[in-house]
Amino acid sequence: MTRVSQLRDLALLLDTASEVLPLVVSVVGRVGSETPINCQNSSLRCVILEEMAEQHFLKHNDAGWIPDSALMLPISKEVPWYLEDGTDRVYVVGARGARGLELTVASEVFEESGRSPVRGTLDYLQGLKMLGVKRVEKVLPTGTTLTVVGEAMKDDIGTIRIQKPTKGPFYVSPKFIDQLIANLGKWARWFKFASLGFTIFGVYLMTTHALRHIMERRRHREWQRRVMRAAAQRREQNAYEGDQNDAGSQHGHDVKRDNPMPDLCLICLEHEYNAVFVPCGHMCCCTSCSSHLSDCPLCRRRIEQVVRTYRH
């Protein structure tokens, strides 16, 4: 970082450094202007003026007359201005968009309502009583000492301007550069801790999502294994019963059907199955588990309807 003690030395620095890269500088000086603004309600002269007006009135409702206000359209003015230190001047462009700009309250005036009796009567019929207008003037007075951080440029006639850089800081502040750097250091540490916190929170969310996905896949695989195991047992049971019926028919008498397996739902293995799948006709699940199925676990045919059955 190169330091110059006077603004007139900045022109020489611009002639050499700005040919290579845009030059971001910090300049301290007093505010001045060739065409300053004269404040109406104070004796101050300024380069930036913001006038805000607020209409105060009483509004009638069920509870009576209550005070209320409405903000009127603000007025803003700015004239070309510069910083000077007695040796040279540097014009500041676009200061309204800079960070750190603080305007001084020049005056606060309350103007009572001067409405005519006719207009006052009309307002009263509409439920309003006009009290007056409060006007506040905020200014950037001439002679104020400011620090401006931005990109310095020099035009064809030798006028030096400081403006918002394409990339980089742009400050217009009553604080000195050392205070601005200290504040930036505090914000940098805060952003560092905030980014660390967001990173930890993001890793937590990703880990939670991954664990939930893994557990869901594990539950799904376990459910598939239970379904396939129960389906295999059902097929074995049906084959055994078929062989017994064939043997009984060959000997000329009926064989008493033995059902060693309970009629349990293939999914939960807790409740008895009581739901028939349409159109395949299989009955192997309870109504609670059937509500989560789209295909029959036995034949893999799509389920169009589930009919609950009752046993006597």
pLDDT at 259 (0 to 100) = 46
CA distance 44 to 41: 9
The verdict on 114 and 36 lying in the same domain is: yes
For residue 128, give both structure tokens: 């309003």
The verdict on 60 and 156 lying in the same domain is: yes
Could you list the pLDDT tens digit for every one of the 312 residues in the chain?
A: 456 667 777 777 777 765 556 678 888 889 999 999 988 877 889 999 998 889 888 888 887 888 888 888 888 899 999 999 888 889 999 888 888 888 989 888 888 877 777 777 887 788 888 888 898 999 999 999 998 888 888 877 878 888 888 887 888 888 877 776 776 666 566 667 777 788 888 888 888 888 888 887 887 777 667 767 766 776 777 677 666 766 655 555 554 444 444 577 878 777 888 899 999 988 888 888 888 888 888 888 899 999 998 865
**Residue 178, phi then psi, degrees to nearest 5:** -65, -40
Report which of 7, 5, 49, 26 is spatially closest to residue 171, judged by C-alpha positions. Answer: 26
Q: Would 110 be classed as within a structural domain?
A: yes
The verdict on 161 and 196 lying in the same domain is: no
CA distance 73 to 21: 42
The verdict on 300 and 156 lying in the same domain is: no
Among residues 147, 175, 203, the one where a domain terminates is 175
CA distance 74 to 289: 67
pLDDT at 140 (0 to 100) = 92
pLDDT at 58 (0 to 100) = 87
Report which of 23, 26, 143, 8 is spatially closest to residue 82, judged by C-alpha positions. Answer: 143
